[in-house]
Amino acid sequence: MRLLTLAVGIAGVPSLAVVFLTLGGWIGGWPALTITAIVWAVATLTAAIFLHDLQLLSEFVRRLATDETHSVRQRRTGPIIMEALSRDLEHLVRVLAPRAALVEQLRRADTLILERLPDPLIVLAGDRSVRRANAAARAAFGGEMAAVLRHPDLRSAIDRTFSSRAVQTAELTLPVPMERDVHASVVPMDPPLADGGQAIVVLSDRTRERVVERMRADFVANVSHELRTPLASLIGFIETIRGPAADDPPAQKRFLGIMAEQGARMNRLIDDLLSLSRIELTEHQPPSDPIDLRDIVSGMAASFEPRMVKRNVHLAIDVAEDLPRVAADADQIAQVLQNMLDNAMKYGRDGGVVGLTIQHPAGGSRWPNRPGLVISVSDQGAGIPKEHIPRLTERFYRVDKGRSRAVGGTGLGLAIIKHIINRHRGQLLIESEVGIGTTVSVWLPLTQTQPLTR
Ligand SMILES: Nc1ncnc2c1ncn2[C@@H]1O[C@H](COP(=O)(O)OP(=O)(O)OP(=O)(O)O)[C@@H](O)[C@H]1O
Ligand SMILES: [Mg+2]
């Protein structure tokens, strides 16, 4: 059919010319018939060759398109009229093949970069539906992805991005699966990504930074408050001594005593703060020198002696016989012991027993399954209600502020212990029962396990 149409197309005009020439009497009947027959024969042959070539060429192009390796070698016996065209096509494909491979490689690299980015990232199509989400987004939001995208502030940032074609941001607080502060950036993709993505949403978790910011603000507020109280009292007494009590030596003596106490309190607070920041500075490098804990224990027991006598407290020391040396900072471990004993003295019972033990950890799951030593201090004081225990190592956290302040506490002792034990890669455990007493234990890892030879 195509052959006939093409042959008619080729032979049509010359045939019509022959008909006119015959009708006009310029050529005779026989010559006209002969010319027409020749024209039709040539037209049919040309059409046949042309169609055959076209068929071969289209097969060739089809093969080039489907052949991934672009190694198609067309028989040169193929197209007759269009041989040059087929050769050019083959050349074109060969030139374009590496470019296509490069484009594919870049596309894969882009996909991989998005997939591996540490921040959660969601690709949106033009209709705001999720095209894909990277590994971090799947891990962070999983099934909650749709709920996150429905957040009114994020939705409005997405709408603004699509209408303005500019980057828009939003600060979100996501309530599920746990409360998180997230900074969202919606970036338009112009031109769109290979998969049709028209915008990407990058969600950076800022929860930790917010917590740190809040902690810093609380810390400054706490320090100022702790310093302001004794400072206000000092200023008050100075004014009293200069004014109403100017001629009252016994009152002056009493006030000076209180002022000295307040001054000492401020001094203690500043010492504690400085030692906390010093410990934090070295927290990333654990100590390596082996020390003998027995020396520290005996020194500490001696220094607490006067306070014990005053409060009629008995110190029961129980140290394991085969105590190995531990890699520790002697001054810092002394501070840990001092803070533990100080609490036992301050919050323990008058006339009670304070226990100080250093033992190999008993079997069980309380401590890490590695060689270590456990230092414990126990008292028979009023104990600590359960709900306070997890917060005791926070700076300035006190169960009973009034009582702690009355006994000279600043609320930093356990925070200092925690940081020192962190630096030693150890663990801290506070156990308490209201009305019975409190035991504070620290586990220190052993790096050198041979018994100490004296
Ligand atoms: N052995 C204990 N018995 C009862 N309560 C305790 C005991 N140890 C600590 N606490 C409670 O925990 C709080 C925090 O203790 P921490 O040692 O950190 O601070 P502090 O003793 O108040 O002050 P500082 O140790 O800085 O002088 C205390 O205020 C107290 O309420
Ligand atoms: Mg204390």
- Write the pLDDT tens digit of every residue in 51-61: 888 888 888 77
Same domain, residue pair 315 and 422: yes
Residues 95-106 have a mean pLDDT of 87
Tell whether ligand 1 has an atom less than 6 A from the beta carbon of residue 392.
yes
Distance of CA 247 from the midpoint of ligand 2 (Å) = 39
CA of 398, closest atom in ligand 1: 29
Same domain, residue pair 130 and 74: no
Distance of CA 409 from the midpoint of ligand 2 (Å) = 6
pLDDT confidence of residue 284: 86
Same domain, residue pair 152 and 39: no
Measured between alpha carbons, how far is 303 from 23 in angstroms, rounded to an integer? Answer: 141
Count: domains in the chain:
4
- Find the ligand nearest to 396 CA: 1
Same domain, residue pair 306 and 248: no
Same domain, residue pair 231 and 319: no
Residue nearest to atom 25 of ligand 1 (CA): 413
Question: 183 lies in which domain range?
Answer: 117-205
Q: Last residue of some domain: 151, 173, 205?
A: 205
Distance of CA 392 from the midpoint of ligand 1 (Å) = 7
Same domain, residue pair 313 and 433: yes
- Write the pLDDT tens digit of every residue in 259-317: 999 999 899 999 999 999 999 888 888 998 899 999 999 999 999 999 999 999 999 99
Residue 451 lies in a domain: no
Tell whether ligand 1 has an atom less than 6 A from the beta carbon of residue 376.
no
Measured between alpha carbons, how far is 128 from 195 in angstroms, rounded to an integer? Answer: 14
Distance of CA 235 from the midpoint of ligand 1 (Å) = 28
Tell whether ligand 1 has an atom less than 6 A from the beta carbon of residue 297.
no
Q: Last residue of some domain: 177, 205, 233?
A: 205
Phi, psi angle pair for 170, to nearest 5°: -150, 145
Distance of CA 330 from the midpoint of ligand 1 (Å) = 23
Tell whether ligand 1 has an atom less than 6 A from the beta carbon of residue 398.
yes
Tell whether ligand 1 has an atom less than 6 A from the beta carbon of residue 343.
yes
How does DSSP classify residue 362?
P
Q: Last residue of some domain: 232, 266, 282?
A: 282
Same domain, residue pair 301 and 397: yes
Residue 110 lies in a domain: no
Residue 374 lies in a domain: yes
Same domain, residue pair 389 and 414: yes
Residue 450 lies in a domain: no
CATH code for the domain of 253: 1.10.287.130
Residue 449 has pLDDT above 50, yes or no: no
Same domain, residue pair 227 and 342: no
pLDDT confidence of residue 452: 41
CA of 339, closest atom in ligand 1: 25
pLDDT-derived band at 24, boundaries 50, 70, 90: confident
Torsion of CA 65, 70, 76, 77, to 10 degrees: -50
CATH code for the domain of 140: 3.30.450.20
Same domain, residue pair 308 and 428: yes
Phi, psi angle pair for 129, to nearest 5°: -80, 155
Residue 111 lies in a domain: no
How does DSSP classify residue 74?
-
Residue 385 lies in a domain: yes
Same domain, residue pair 341 and 233: no
Tell whether ligand 1 has an atom less than 6 A from the beta carbon of residue 412.
yes
Same domain, residue pair 348 and 437: yes
Tell whether ligand 1 has an atom less than 6 A from the beta carbon of residue 379.
yes
Residue 60 lies in a domain: yes
Between 102 and 176, the more confident residue is 102
DSSP-assigned letters across all residues of 256-324: HHHHHHHHHHHHHHHHHHHHHHHHHHHTTS---SEE-HHHHHHHHHHHHHHHHHHHT-EEEEEE-TT-B
Pocket test for ligand 1, best of 343, 396, 431 (most atoms within 8 A of CB): 343
Residue 178 has pLDDT above 90, yes or no: no
CATH code for the domain of 392: 3.30.565.10
Tell whether ligand 1 has an atom less than 6 A from the beta carbon of residue 344.
yes
pLDDT-derived band at 28, boundaries 50, 70, 90: confident
pTM, two decimal places = 0.63
Tell whether ligand 1 has an atom less than 6 A from the beta carbon of residue 445.
no
Residue 109 lies in a domain: no
Lowest mean pLDDT among 4-8, 257-261, 405-409: 405-409
- For 315: left if phi > 0, alpha if psi spans -120 to 50, otherwise beta; the answer is beta
Question: For strand 314-319 and strand 353-359, is the pairing parallel, antiparallel, or unpaired?
Answer: parallel
CA of 412, closest atom in ligand 1: 26
Between 408 and 211, the more confident residue is 211
Cα dist from 327 to 182, 288, 416, 444, 447, whole Å: 42, 5, 19, 9, 6
